[in-house]
Structure 1
Amino acid sequence: MKVAIIMGSDSDWPRLEGAAKVLKSFGVECEVIVASAHRTPDVVHEFAAGAAERGVKVIIAAAGAAAHLPGVIASFTTLPVIGVPIAATPLAGFDALLSIVQMPSGIPVATMAVDGAKNAAIFAVQILAVGNENLAAKLKEYRKQMAEEVAAKADKVTKIWNEEAAKA
């Protein structure tokens, strides 16, 4: 099982590194590439057209501004593509969000929140888990751990509040 992460610029990596770490935590292999839909279209085409042959099952594609990269990737493959809009302009990612979410009929791209790379990785794992019981079990454990973390935080806040209320 492999997920590819492609971004239009190396400046996007700090926002996408968390996705690679999430994938690694689930034991999912990750391929990472920087290629621009506008500046290196041949590299993008080669990457997308050959992804399935390299064992890639899901592609996470991130881009800012006009954000054409996820859609271009989707046009060259039948693999699931998850788009991550990047806040790279004064529009704070809204331009990228609209560019990714407004794909033409027949070429879908799942769209995450602006800078939502971690959710893109989790969604990729969910897609892979459909056919993998081990990964599905890891997702259930992940969700259980999240719930336990929230409960611990709730207990902490309740304790702080009760201590403050007792002082009043």
Structure 2
Amino acid sequence: MPKVAIFIGSISDEETIKPCTDVLRSLGISFRFTVSSAHRTPERTERLVEELEGSGTQVFICAAGMAAHLAGAVAARTTKPVIGIPVTASALGGMDALLATVQMPPGFPVATVALDKAGARNAAWLAAQMLALADPDLAKRIADARAGFREDAAKAGADLEARYPG
């Protein structure tokens, strides 16, 4: 049973959202990654949410561009947390997707992250933090990863200072 479900509105979003799967894999979190559209396949989206929720999925991550109704459509079908990733897919530079994802009616929240690949990474980290509330081992893996980020930043700072001595 996947702990996280990742829905993309179009196969063209795969490469943009792939960093989400990389983070989840690095933390040992099971997931299902699929295409399901709020507009082209609404029945499939509804069926998948029901099936996944029934099998124990705890967090839904939805990525879509332009009208970006996917996260809202999923939020309407589940009481589990939904994280929305707006995808740049039009001449509006992702603003259309951002506004469509973030502006939800009361009672149907979507936790919206940044656009595109940065958002994909943070959606995975946010899902991990949600799951870690009930999983101390996962919380430790997250803490260890953050310690690694700090070490990497300190090393990069030291390397830069060594290349530019005062």
Shorter-chain TM range is: over 0.9
1:93 matched to which residue of 2? 94
Tell whether 2:144 aligns with 1:141. yes
Q: Deviation digits for residues 76-111 of structure 1, max 9, x if unmatched?
A: 011100000001111111110000110011100000
1:24 matched to which residue of 2? 25
When structure 1 is superposed on structure 2, of 49-58 and 28-37 the one drifting more is: 49-58
Task: Please report how far the alpha carbon of residue 157 of structure 1 lies from its aligned counterpart in structure 2 after TM superposition.
Answer: 1.0
1:7 matched to which residue of 2? 8
SS in 2 for 1:51: helix
Task: Please report how far the alpha carbon of residue 21 of structure 1 lies from its aligned counterpart in structure 2 after TM superposition.
Answer: 1.2
- With structure 1 as the length reference, what TM-score do the two structures score? 0.95
Superposed, 1:71-86 pairs within 5 Å as 71-86=72-87
Q: How many residues align?
A: 163
2:115 matched to which residue of 1? 114
Match among 155, 158, 165 for residue 158 of structure 2: 155
Structure 1 vs Structure 2: percent identity of aligned residues? Answer: 43
Which aligned segments of 4 or more residues in structure 1 are displaced greater than 4 angstroms? Answer: none
Give the distance between the partners of 2:8 and 2:137, measured in 1 at CA.
Answer: 29
| Aligned CA-pair RMSD | 0.9
SS in 2 for 1:78: coil
Give the distance between the partners of 2:53 and 2:132, measured in 1 at CA.
Answer: 17
2:58 matched to which residue of 1? 57
